[in-house]
Amino acid sequence: MSIRHNRGFELRKVLAGNIRAYRHKKGLSQEAFAEICGLHRTYVGSVERAERNVTLSTLEAFATALGAPVPDLLTRRSLHNGQ
């Protein structure tokens, strides 16, 4: 796998962990969360597996649904330790 292909992978992992952590904190299933975002459950699942190179507008939909600032969703933290 090329470096170019891997570009953004760390960031995708940070986003994945934060989304899962915030979603659990709100007691939302992937399906309920996806519905609030107006996205498909399988898409949310792939974001949580760090598979998606999401766009700003999707980031904003996640942030709005989770009540979290966008920058927080991209900040590496220990919030999701212990999940």
Residues 6+ apart with CB under 8 A from 28: 36
**51-to-25, 26, 31, 67, 82 alpha-carbon distances in Å:** 22, 23, 18, 23, 22
Q: Assess contact for 63 and 57: CB atoms under 8 A.
A: no
Q: Does 67 bind a second copy (CB under 8 A)?
A: no
Residue from 24, 29, 49, 60 binding a second copy (CB under 8 A): 60
Q: Does 53 bind a second copy (CB under 8 A)?
A: yes
Q: Does 24 bind a second copy (CB under 8 A)?
A: no
At closest approach, how far in Å is the CB of 38 from a second copy?
8
Interface ranges with a second copy (CB under 8 A): 7-8, 10-12, 15, 53-57, 59-61, 70-72, 74-75
